[in-house]
Amino acid sequence: MLIDAQNVHKSFATQDGALPVLRGVDLQLAKGETLALTGESGSGKSTLLYLIAGLDCVDDGTISVTGRAVHGLDDSGRAELRRDAVGIVFQQFNLIPSLTVMDNLIFHARLAGQEDQAWSEELAERLGLAEFLRRYPEQLSGGQQQRVAIGRALAGKPDVVLADEPTGNLDEETGEQVAQLLLDLVRDTGAGLLVVTHSQRLAERLDRQVHLANGKLA
Amino acid sequence: MRELRSALSALLSHWRRRPGQFVTLVLGLSLATALWTAVQAINSEARSSYDRAAEQIGGADRPTLEKADGGPLSMRDFVRLRRAGWLVTPVLEGRLQRGRVILRIVGIDALTSSVGPLEFGGGSAETPYDIGDFLGENGVALAAPQTIAELDGVPDLPRLVAQADLPPRTLTVDIVAAQRLLQRPSAVSRLVLLDPQTEAAAPLEEVAPDLKRVDPQTGQDLARLTDSFHLNLTAFGLLTFAVGLFIVHGTIGLAFEQRRVMFRTLRVLGVSLAQLMTALALELAALAILAGTFGVLLGSVIATLLLPGVADTLRDLYGAQVSGALGWRADWWASGIAIALLGTAIAAAGSLWRIRSMPILASAQPRAWAMASSRTLLLQLVCGIGFLALAGVVLILFSGLVAAFIIIALVLVGSALLLPPFANRLLDVGQSLVGRFGAGAVTQWFWADTRQQIPGLSLALMALLLALAANIGVGTMVGSFRTTFVGWLDQRLASEFYVNARDAEQGERLQAWLKERTDAVLPIVEIEATLDGRNGAIFGVADHPTYRDNWPLLQQVDGVWDIVARGEGALVNEQFARRSELSLGDPIEASGLPATQVVGIYSDYGNPAPQVMVGLKQFSELFPQVPQQRFAVRISADRVEELKNAVSSEFGIEERSMIDQAAIKQLSLSVFERTFRVTDALNVLTLAVAGFAIFTSLLTLATMRVPQLAPVWALGVTQRRLAVLELARTALLALLTVVLAVPVGLVLAWLLLAVLNVEAFGWRIPMQVFVSDWLRLGLLALLAALLAAAIPARRMAAMAPADLVKVFSHER
């Protein structure tokens, strides 16, 4: 299993006390599998994705990614996991504004020591970014920025790609194109893909979908 | 390592994209470091000169023998002791004026002196010499190469031979040559005891019961005497450094806020918090070293420009000879880089702490820059009041120079902290008033928005307040000093003409000659003396209405001049009275002076050394060996020139030995002005740094103003009007700062005059206010702020509507 989450609990402190968001979630993702995680706003989809990425810590339960127990890792260990095994795509793109498109594209792979010049060039070509490589993110449209973010997530050939509403900030047509590119590239690399999305159309294009409601998978 | 390198390259890419911000940061830190370094370089150079002087052959750091009754030593004493087996060597020291140059003459006996680093022999290939050339009345003088260069063309000097490591403006000659140059035949300043002494010699009490052994007084050395001056410079350096830090703090804070997205992304992509913090620390250290290097270079240029003035001031005030040329020293280089690193660390500490405690999933949107809550304002208010209260406590409980500087620092920091809450409150009142009088919507928005800008501009405004207060404070001090000094000079220099005879015999003839041709001839006689353990002088004063009517007495007993004339009491200068806590009626401790009491205290500005004045008759009885060679002459002003010519043709006295009242006042005032030239220069530089702080703050804030102004524009206010309002807002805030800086400046002036000057120099000057100076300074500050605001305002007026619309489409 690429991802194996067992009985995951997570709550957040509010003025009215602890607010439980996840109440014993179990989730698995196999190698090469694509999985959509859907649910209402505030259902805890993004929280679960962040827990799997090691961006936050579980209150209870276990999560392992590529066999590594995320819940047992310290900050450095979780950073190493994200660096070496996980590619992440956000709704807000989160590119580094002071780096060029090319530098952003290869940044994660370089960080992981897995830079592959030929693969980076192929990614740039397939993502339609070849002519924008010397530009800066602010000079690109939203769709183009998200393609850079997808390229960055895949440049290091990670075992698993986590995407949080990757088309949420894009218009329908651009969203379609970006989603297709993401799916094609993930399949070509053989990575697993977990996508948090509101879009039923995107969810239906994936191998499997699970729905999160009231803190549990339906 | 790989992760660190990648993170560092991403962090540094920010500066590539924002070169203006990079320049601001480096320039801010460089400016802050520069003045600090300049002050360190000047102090270092001066101290090195003092050290060289102390190491010198004068033997000031060795025990000496003096007359028990304070009388003068002579070569006879030296011969007497040597014959009795005592290993002593004579030294004669004095000052010699040649043209505009004042030289320190150190006369030694080369055959008995084993003190100091002199080399008798060698010289250059062109000017070889040996000890034989050094000996005798016409022997060579040893001097530092820079002194020899300075003395090029100066007449009436012995042949000069260069020797490194000698103090500046000092000639070392054979004691016989010194006696000739100083016109003090057979005189000896001190007999230095050599080490070790022969055991066979008879005890001093038997050989010379009239002599006593005096251990070196370390408290009297130049370094100690000039400490207050150097502390003053250091305080100015620190003040400017603090003002510069406001710039650095603002720029680093902004750079961190702008990179919050980057920090989050880096961490999401696998850079651990420890790696991120290390990368940030490395980035800051590299910036600090770069800026520190620039700062040190800039500082050395400033020091090179200021050093000649400082050297003149130290010579005029303390008689300290300091080289006017700057040498490169590792200590102030290291100090400059270290202060840049320390400053960066202080300025970045808060930002680094915020990054460290920022959750990885925290909103990556830059928060409203430095948005201060009412809690922050309250904290500033409490801290500000606390600092001022602490200053009051230190003022009451402690004394001394360091305490005086601590009080000044606490007052300045406390006042700066009070500025944002005060300005906030004043704008609040303004907002209420315009609301009450039914002002339009734009006016109401203007006041509310101005209030909202205080947090973002508070650092720059605090820097401006510090610089303005320092300017007002130092300006008031110098102005008060100048006014008092001019009035004091009028009193002190009441005589119309002053003349120096070549020797005692000529003095006698000159006095008789002048008496027949002028209204009065008043001899000026003095002798060096130890006054309550400090080096000072005893003067003899003639019994004449010139002194009775004009002498600037601060306190006196009834019939003071009659008492002095009868030799029943003495006058002391203010600094002697303050340092030795002397009041009227107190006895005076002075070598060579019989028990006498204080009957008057006079002001004596520009001189840190203690003085005593006794009647001329008593002086002549006590010190018969001191000839009457200098005279103040009373004569109607229109006859001065004629008299000068007559003295010149009758006695052959050179022009430089005669001076009229106007010329001596001019000379004294020029010394005064020179003393404060360095202070003025540092003042201007501090103000310039503060102006730069305002400029950079407004520029950086301007980039964040668009989202705040776009909605108002969308509601129907033209871009042009918004730009004008931006200018008005800046003017209002600058004006507020100027108004608040005036009371702070006056408090600072009072502290400088009533606390620091008294501690440093021993005199107190009445404070006077110069309103026109404040107005000029206020206008200057206003102009600087408006200039700084002009660029962002112009940009606002010219911004394309498409850029303003972006605010609403969330594409910014």
pLDDT digits (tens, 9 = 90+) for B122-157: 555 555 567 778 888 888 888 888 788 877 777 678
For residue B129, the model assigns a pLDDT of: 65
Mean local confidence (pLDDT), A59-69 = 92
ipTM of predicted assembly, 2 dp = 0.81
- In A, minimum Cα distance to B264 occurs at A94
Q: Which of B2, B261, B272 has its CB closest to that of A94?
A: B261
For residues B438 and A128, what is the distance between their CA atoms, to the nearest angstrom? 59
Size of interface A-B (CB pairs under 8 A): 78
Chain B interface includes A84 (CB < 8 A): yes
For residues B277 and B154, what is the distance between their CA atoms, to the nearest angstrom? 63
Average pLDDT, chain B: 80
Chain B interface includes A107 (CB < 8 A): yes
Chain A interface includes B360 (CB < 8 A): yes
Chain B interface includes A141 (CB < 8 A): no
Using pLDDT thresholds of 50, 70 and 90, give the confidence band for residue B71: low
Tokens of B514: 């002048």
From residue A122, alpha-carbon distances to A105, A116, B12 in Å are: 11, 10, 28
For residue A161, the model assigns a pLDDT of: 93
Residue B265, pLDDT > 50, answer: yes
Residues in chain B within 8 Å Cβ distance of A95:
265
Chain B interface includes A17 (CB < 8 A): no
Tell me the nearest-neighbour CA distance from A73 into chain B, angstroms.
Answer: 12
Contact B2 A111 (CB under 8 A): yes
**For the whole model, what pTM was predicted?**
0.65
Least confident of A25-34, A95-104, A119-128, B127-136: B127-136
Chain A interface includes B669 (CB < 8 A): no
Tell me the nearest-neighbour CA distance from B274 into chain A, angstroms.
Answer: 8
Residues in chain A within 8 Å Cβ distance of B266:
96
Chain A interface includes B270 (CB < 8 A): yes
Q: Which of B9, B16, B268 to mutate to test the interface with A (most CBs of A within 10 A)?
A: B268
For residue A4, the model assigns a pLDDT of: 93
Chain A interface includes B363 (CB < 8 A): no
Using pLDDT thresholds of 50, 70 and 90, give the confidence band for residue B390: very high
Using pLDDT thresholds of 50, 70 and 90, give the confidence band for residue B391: very high
Residue A71, pLDDT > 80, answer: yes
Residues in chain B within 8 Å Cβ distance of A55:
268, 360-361
Residue B744, pLDDT > 90, answer: yes
Which residues are CB-contacts of A112 (< 8 A; sequence separation ≥ 6)?
A: A83, A84, A156, B270
- B31 neighbors B693 (Cβ within 8 angstroms): no
Tokens of A120: 């980076």
Tell me the nearest-neighbour CA distance from A215 into chain B, angstroms.
Answer: 20
Residue B188, pLDDT > 50, answer: yes
Least confident of A54-68, B233-247, B711-725: B233-247
For residue B57, the model assigns a pLDDT of: 45
For residues B145 and B779, what is the distance between their CA atoms, to the nearest angstrom? 48
For residues B35 and B74, what is the distance between their CA atoms, to the nearest angstrom? 49
Contact A111 B3 (CB under 8 A): yes
Chain B interface includes A53 (CB < 8 A): yes
Residues in chain A within 8 Å Cβ distance of B2:
110-111, 113
For residue A107, the model assigns a pLDDT of: 87
Task: Say which residue, B538 or B812, is predicted with more confidence.
Answer: B538
Contact B274 A75 (CB under 8 A): yes
Mean local confidence (pLDDT), B701-730 = 80
Radius of gyration of chain A from Cα atoms?
17
AA identity, residue B51: D
For residue A86, the model assigns a pLDDT of: 92
For residues A111 and B7, what is the distance between their CA atoms, to the nearest angstrom? 8
Chain B interface includes A177 (CB < 8 A): no
Contact B17 A136 (CB under 8 A): yes
Residue B367, pLDDT > 50, answer: no
Residues in chain A within 8 Å Cβ distance of B16:
98
β-sheet bridge partners, residue B597: B587
For residues B578 and B395, what is the distance between their CA atoms, to the nearest angstrom? 18
Tell me the nearest-neighbour CA distance from B257 into chain A, angstroms.
Answer: 13
Residue B3, pLDDT > 70, answer: yes
Contact A99 B274 (CB under 8 A): no
Contact A83 B269 (CB under 8 A): yes
Residue B810, pLDDT > 50, answer: no
Using pLDDT thresholds of 50, 70 and 90, give the confidence band for residue B790: confident
Residue B232, pLDDT > 70, answer: no
Residue B554, pLDDT > 80, answer: yes
- Helices B677-714, B19-55: inter-axial angle, 10-degree rounding: 170
Contact A94 B265 (CB under 8 A): yes
Q: Which of A56, A79, A96 has its CB closest to that of B272?
A: A79
For residue B196, say if its preceding peptide bond is cis, omega within 30 degrees of 0. yes
Tokens of A162: 């986590």
Q: Which of B256, B272, B277 to mutate to test the interface with A (most CBs of A within 10 A)?
A: B272
Task: Say which residue, B10 or B369, is predicted with more confidence.
Answer: B10
Q: Which of B16, B17, B265 to mutate to test the interface with A (most CBs of A within 10 A)?
A: B265
From residue B386, alpha-carbon distances to A204, B376, B392, B474, B751 in Å are: 66, 15, 10, 24, 18
pLDDT digits (tens, 9 = 90+) for A123-164: 898 888 889 898 888 888 888 898 899 999 989 889 999 998
Q: Given the structure tokens 């009626």, which residue do they identify?
A: B585
Q: What percentage of chain A has pLDDT greater than the value 70?
A: 100
Task: Say which residue, B406 or B224, is predicted with more confidence.
Answer: B406
For residues A196 and A162, what is the distance between their CA atoms, to the nearest angstrom? 8
For residue A18, the model assigns a pLDDT of: 86
Q: Given the structure tokens 């000039």, which residue do they identify?
A: B226
Least confident of A20-29, B131-140, B189-198: B189-198
Q: Which helix (H) or strand (E) holds B389?
A: helix B374-397
Least confident of A110-124, B307-321, B577-591, B772-786: B307-321
Residues in chain A within 8 Å Cβ distance of B7:
111
For residue B221, the model assigns a pLDDT of: 47
Residues in chain A within 8 Å Cβ distance of B271:
79, 83, 111
For residue B454, the model assigns a pLDDT of: 82
For residues B329 and B680, what is the distance between their CA atoms, to the nearest angstrom? 26
**Could you count the other beta carbons within 10 Å of the beta carbon of residue B229?**
23
- B17 neighbors B9 (Cβ within 8 angstroms): no
For residue B124, the model assigns a pLDDT of: 53
For residue B371, the model assigns a pLDDT of: 47
Tell me the nearest-neighbour CA distance from A99 into chain B, angstroms.
Answer: 6
Residue B667, pLDDT > 50, answer: yes
For residue B675, the model assigns a pLDDT of: 64
For residue B117, the model assigns a pLDDT of: 47
pLDDT digits (tens, 9 = 90+) for A162-212: 998 888 877 778 788 888 888 888 888 889 999 999 888 889 989 999 999
Mean local confidence (pLDDT), B181-189 = 80
Angle at B670 between CA B667 and CA B672, to 5 degrees: 110
Residues in chain A within 8 Å Cβ distance of B264:
94
Mean local confidence (pLDDT), B728-743 = 90
Using pLDDT thresholds of 50, 70 and 90, give the confidence band for residue B805: low
**Could you count the other beta carbons within 10 Å of the beta carbon of residue B579?**
18
Residue B111, pLDDT > 90, answer: no
Q: Which of A50, A70, A96 to mutate to test the interface with B (most CBs of B within 10 A)?
A: A96
Q: What percentage of chain A has pLDDT greater than the value 90?
A: 31
Alpha helices in B227-371, H assignment, sequence order: 227-258, 260-268, 273-318, 330-357
Which residues are CB-contacts of B780 (< 8 A; sequence separation ≥ 6)?
A: B687
Tell me the nearest-neighbour CA distance from A79 into chain B, angstroms.
Answer: 4
Using pLDDT thresholds of 50, 70 and 90, give the confidence band for residue B252: confident
Task: Say which residue, B701 or B524, is predicted with more confidence.
Answer: B524
Task: Say which residue, B653 or B697, is predicted with more confidence.
Answer: B653
Chain B interface includes A200 (CB < 8 A): no
Q: Which of A50, A96, A152 has its CB closest to that of B262?
A: A96
Q: Which of B17, B264, B269 has its CB closest to that of A82?
A: B269
Using pLDDT thresholds of 50, 70 and 90, give the confidence band for residue B443: confident
pLDDT digits (tens, 9 = 90+) for B290-348: 999 999 999 888 888 887 777 777 666 666 666 666 666 777 788 888 888 988 888 88
Chain B interface includes A123 (CB < 8 A): no
Task: Say which residue, B241 or B473, is predicted with more confidence.
Answer: B473
Contact B3 A81 (CB under 8 A): no
Helix and strand totals (H; E) in chain A: 7, 10
Least confident of A124-133, B273-282, B359-368, B504-513: B359-368
For residues A182 and A176, what is the distance between their CA atoms, to the nearest angstrom? 10
For residue B557, the model assigns a pLDDT of: 94
Contact A82 B268 (CB under 8 A): yes
Of B418, B413, B447, the closest CA to residue B433 belongs to B447
Mean local confidence (pLDDT), B77-101 = 79
AA identity, residue B171: L
Q: Which of A94, A98, A111 has its CB closest to that of B270?
A: A111
Q: Which of A56, A75, A111 has its CB closest to that of B273?
A: A75
Average pLDDT, chain A: 88
Contact B265 A96 (CB under 8 A): yes
Contact A103 B262 (CB under 8 A): no
Residues in chain A within 8 Å Cβ distance of B810:
none
Mean local confidence (pLDDT), B281-293 = 92
Chain A interface includes B274 (CB < 8 A): yes
**What are the percentages of helix, strand and coil residues in chain A, rounded to 5?**
40, 30, 35
For residue B774, the model assigns a pLDDT of: 87
Contact A95 B265 (CB under 8 A): yes
Q: Which 186-205 residues of chain B touch chain A by CB within 8 A?
A: none
